[in-house]
Amino acid sequence: MKIIAVCIGASQKLPGKSYRTGIDKRAIGGPAMIDRLGLVGDKVCNKKHHGGPDQAILIEGERTLDWWRTELGRDLPPGSFGENLVIAGLENGDVAVGDRFAVGDVVLEATAPRMPCATLAAWMGDPHLVKRFAQVGRPGIYARVIAGGFVEAGMDVAMTPYVGERIPIPRMMAAYGRVSEDERSRMLAAPIAERLRKRLEI
């Protein structure tokens, strides 16, 4: 696997919206620094739901984006879903919580699904997008930074599976709804993002 694109966004207001968002990510040329909070220079406006140490980087697999291009019948340049990294050969559904991605000195660990939101729907100009994301179960992948460093397009990516019980990222979408006590326990035993952990512990 390789990095196809590294994407960074600036703060802006979408037409008809009063709040600011950093969802408009654009692929950059050259290297970018990743620290514990993500890509240096990338703007995260809604810190209640996005960003932070456990959701520092948003990953999209090239194979998943290709599926969405067909599903939506439109081009999706890198960054279209607000992702920071696009990885060639990756299907999001193959990733489980705790899986790690090594890119040079950088190590990222999958922590949670990127849930679709009204901002994404507004950005894409599709009011039905949130429902479609939930129905098809193809969320993006949030990751924490285990080790920081520089990344750029063209770098090799090595994926190491989590050694514990595998809970696929798409299955983690259920944590935002109703789950059985057994599944709740399994999810809490995995290295999930703190926002998700707090939700499950309620």
Q: What's 104's domain CATH number?
A: 2.40.33.20
102 and 160 Cβ atoms separated by less than 8 Å: yes
Structure-block tokens of residue 55: 């959701």
pLDDT of residue 180: 87
Residue type, 53: P
Gap between the Cα atoms of 38 and 6, Å rounded: 12
88 and 18 Cβ atoms separated by less than 8 Å: no
98 and 54 Cβ atoms separated by less than 8 Å: no
Domain enclosing residue 115, as ranges: 2-201
Low-confidence residues of the chain, pLDDT below 70?
Answer: 16, 45-47, 49
- How much is the pTM? 0.92
pLDDT of residue 49: 67
pLDDT of residue 156: 98
Q: Cα–Cα distances in Å, from 104 out to 44, 147, 154?
A: 25, 10, 11
pLDDT in tens, 25-40: 899 999 999 999 999 9
Gap between the Cα atoms of 57 and 144, Å rounded: 7
pLDDT in tens, 111-130: 999 887 777 777 777 778 78
pLDDT of residue 173: 85
CA angle 178, 182, 186 (to 5 degrees): 95
Number of domains making up the chain: 1
pLDDT of residue 23: 77
Burial of 166 (0-12, 13-18, 19+ CB in 10 A): middle
